[in-house]
């Protein structure tokens, strides 16, 4: 399951510049007039530049990237809000967000919140009061919707130096001056008309802007790339393909499929990074089409789809990979990878697949969590990729066995499509199980908290050839709540990173969304019915709850200004929320895109 692969470097020198400190109004940027008055007030307060050292160990008050830290924990060390006082939490400010599919994460630095609205609208707020400081609205091509199914999604931002960095819907990576919102640099990655869909923003790893993307079939295999750019200048440093060319290691796993017909192995979520190992960890998606009888045969692996990739941050070389499942159904595996140093003592009573070479209690640098829609927890050695243990969570019909010694995954043959017209029961569905909604890890408990769903559906293979097919070649119907779930779509599993044992489980009718853990011993999370809650990390008891009116589609965070702790979260509409709502027709939330911030009195 492991491989050492050659590097792939290719430059696309397409960087355009503007003066970093100016307030500009070009065809690609519009900075609002609020910025000028704010600048006057800021002259007495120098901007605190964000360095690599700061990103590796952020100030407790800040939230500087998607999951706050490079290890993707989704954990804030702030501890003023506790199980004893959370019941007095109240809303202190709110703002409407831009229209479109809304899955944003606030980024907070030195009292300023930066928010990625849909359709590349970036706003800066006073994180204490919610007052708008500046706004950048990228001018996007009018025909963008012809090429991408969901161009509006903009999940997260990055920060480096005095720059706010994002990837755009039209296949650029760009940087804004954090104080003014002015465009500092932009670099074209791909031609959007034959490119990739950038729904997630980057991280910055040792001065490099690391980003992945979903890749549409129209872009061919060369659109399926992970890229690195210089955070200061935007210069491309390397790009790595997720589909090997003929003659490269892994190419043989596609059988006789021509290179130009190897499609859609995307990296559409946000990577993690280990500075000590200098390795980037990122997950990949399904192929297009999904049923493997259409692309070379069901016995092939079709690398590097549904894999964890460990990539050298300096060169882009794939150091090792692990394939979680050969996917015939559109059950992607691109979600967060949690980087944890822990004792490894899997409990055989709940952990179904264990590496027999593990010495119980030995400490390892692991990569863990639920990386894919199947809902399975996988724990690997993050230095070597060695399989350590795995276990299911929600009901699933996909994986039948994992060889503990090798990590090789066997799929349930009853669910594998072998020809057109065949119908199988797939659990979970393409909504998950798990999806882009993020889990969290707390060092207080050494437990990961994972929002999951109990879903099943009937899938039918609908294509006779790979040239006459839909995007995935599978049609789904009869979506239903999974058996033995009591009619509950949503659940949160609290699972020990050391033993794999379920510490507690929360179940509810509505589908669950992203969570965040805090140093006060709390877990905050929302659902598709607009409820936002605080849980006790150790027991799972609900300690506080509010109805925000609309699905809680954004990623919650916690931050501090002037020594006061805040909790922020956003609502709106998303594709998974829409799909899950069909399973709970009696629930009727509204669909407003809004940002909410809470604090103690």
Asked whether 499 and 358 are in contact (CB, 8 A), the reply is: no
Q: Which of 428, 251, 457 is nearest to 332 (CA)?
A: 428
pLDDT at 466: 72
pLDDT greater at residue 105 or residue 45: 105
Q: What is the CATH number of domain 15-599?
A: 2.140.10.10
HSE at residue 346, side-chain half, CA atoms within 13 A, is 24
Q: Which residue has the tokens 């900075």?
A: 31
Q: Greatest CA separation found in the chain?
A: 69
Q: Which residue has the tokens 């792939």?
A: 8
Residue 30, pLDDT > 70, answer no
Phi and psi angles of residue 237, each rounded to the nearest 5 degrees, phi first: -105, -40
Residue 11, pLDDT > 70, answer no
pLDDT at 549: 98
Over residues 463-484, the pLDDT tens digits come to: 877 776 789 999 999 899 999 9
- Mean pLDDT lowest among 4-13, 89-98, 130-139: 4-13
Strands 447-453 and 440-442: antiparallel
CB atoms within 10 A of CB 312: 16
Q: What is the mean pLDDT of residues 141-146?
A: 92
pLDDT at 32: 52
Residue 39, pLDDT > 60, answer no
Average pLDDT score over the chain: 93
Length of the chain: 601
Asked whether 30 and 234 are in contact (CB, 8 A), the reply is: no
Per-residue pLDDT band at 43 (split at 50, 70, 90):
very low
Query: How many Å apart are CA 549 and CA 572, to the nearest integer?
Result: 9
Strands 564-571 and 557-561: antiparallel
Query: How many Å apart are CA 131 and CA 298, to the nearest integer?
Result: 56
Over residues 267-287, the pLDDT tens digits come to: 999 999 999 999 999 999 999
Residue 13, pLDDT > 50, answer no
Q: What is the pTM of this model?
A: 0.93
HSE at residue 591, side-chain half, CA atoms within 13 A, is 9
Over residues 537-581, the pLDDT tens digits come to: 999 999 999 999 999 999 999 999 999 999 999 999 999 988 899
Per-residue pLDDT band at 261 (split at 50, 70, 90):
very high
Query: How many Å apart are CA 298 and CA 546, to the nearest integer?
Result: 48
Residue 12, pLDDT > 90, answer no
Q: Which residue has the tokens 């009696």?
A: 586
- Mean pLDDT lowest among 41-45, 61-65, 127-131, 520-524: 41-45
Judged by DSSP in three states, 301 sits in coil
Over residues 109-128, the pLDDT tens digits come to: 999 999 999 999 999 999 99
Query: How many Å apart are CA 256 and CA 288, to the nearest integer?
Result: 16
Query: How many Å apart are CA 41 and CA 49, to the nearest integer?
Result: 18
pLDDT at 439: 98
Residue 2, pLDDT > 70, answer no
């Amino acid at each position: 399951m492991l491989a050492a692969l050659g590097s792939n470097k290719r430059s696309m020198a397409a960087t355009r510049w503007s003066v970093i400190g100016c307030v500009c109004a070009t065809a690609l940027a519009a900075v609002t007039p609020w910025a000028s008055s704010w600048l006057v007030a800021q002259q007495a307060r120098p901007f605190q530049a964000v360095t690599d050292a700061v990103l590796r160990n952020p100030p407790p008050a800040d939230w500087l990237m998607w999951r706050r830290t490079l290890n993707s924990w989704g954990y804030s060390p702030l501890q003023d809000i506790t199980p004893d006082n959370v019941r007095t939490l109240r809303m202190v400010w709110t703002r409407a967000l831009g229209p479109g599919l809304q899955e944003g994460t606030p980024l907070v630095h030195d009292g300023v919140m930066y928010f990625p609205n849909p359709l590349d609208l970036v706003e800066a707020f006073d994180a204490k009061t919610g007052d708008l400081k500046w706004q950048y609205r990228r001018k996007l091509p009018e025909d963008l919707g012809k090429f991408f199914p969901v161009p509006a999604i903009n999940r997260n931002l990055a920060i480096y130096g005095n720059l706010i960095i994002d990837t755009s819907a039209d296949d650029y990576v760009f940087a804004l001056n954090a104080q003014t919102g002015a465009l500092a640099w932009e670099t074209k990655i791909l031609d959007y008309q034959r490119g990739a869909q950038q729904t997630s923003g980057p991280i910055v790893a040792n001065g490099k802007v690391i980003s992945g993307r979903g890749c549409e079939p129209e872009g061919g295999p060369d659109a399926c790339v992970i890229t690195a750019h210089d955070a200061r200048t935007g210069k491309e440093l390397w790009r790595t393909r997720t589909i090997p060319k003929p003659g490269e290691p892994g190419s043989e796993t596609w059988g006789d499929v021509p290179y130009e017909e190897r499609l859609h192995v995307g990296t559409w979520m946000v990577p993690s990074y280990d500075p000590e190992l200098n390795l980037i960890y990122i997950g990949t998606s399904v192929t297009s089409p999904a049923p493997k009888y259409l692309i070379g045969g069901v016995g092939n692996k079709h690398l590097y789809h549904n894999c964890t990739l460990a990539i050298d941050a300096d060169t882009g070389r794939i150091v090792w990979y692990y394939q979680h499942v050969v996917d015939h159904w559109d059950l992607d595996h691109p979600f967060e990878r949690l980087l944890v140093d822990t004792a490894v003592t899997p409990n055989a009573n709940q952990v179904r697949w264990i590496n027999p070479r593990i010495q119980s209690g030995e400490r390892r640098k692991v990569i863990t969590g639920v990386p894919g829609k199947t809902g399975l927890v996988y724990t690997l050695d993050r230095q070597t990729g060695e399989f350590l243990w795995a276990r299911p969570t929600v009901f699933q019909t996909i994986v039948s066995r994992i060889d503990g010694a090798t990590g090789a995954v066997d799929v349930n043959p009853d669910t594998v499509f072998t020809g057109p017209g065949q119908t199988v029961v797939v659990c979970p569905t393409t909504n998950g199980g798990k999806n882009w909604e993020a889990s969290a890890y707390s060092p207080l408990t050494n437990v990961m908290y994972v929002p999951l769903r109990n879903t099943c559906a009937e899938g039918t293979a609908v294509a006779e050839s790979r040239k006459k097919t839909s995007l995935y070649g599978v049609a789904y119907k009869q979506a239903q709540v999974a058996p033995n779930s009591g009619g509950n779509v949503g659940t949160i599993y609290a699972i020990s990173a050391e033993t794999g044992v379920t510490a507690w489980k929360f179940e509810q009718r509505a589908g669950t969304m992203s969570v965040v853990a805090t140093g006060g011993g709390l877990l905050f999370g929302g659902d598709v019915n607009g409820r936002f809650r605080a849980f006790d990390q150790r027991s799972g008891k609900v300690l506080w709850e509010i109805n925000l009116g609309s699905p809680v589609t954004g990623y919650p965070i916690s931050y501090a200004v002037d020594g006061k702790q805040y909790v922020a979260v956003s609502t709106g509409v998303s594709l998974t929320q829409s799909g899950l709502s069909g399973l709970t027709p009696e629930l009727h939330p509204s669909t407003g895109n809004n940002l909410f911030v809470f604090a103690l009195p």
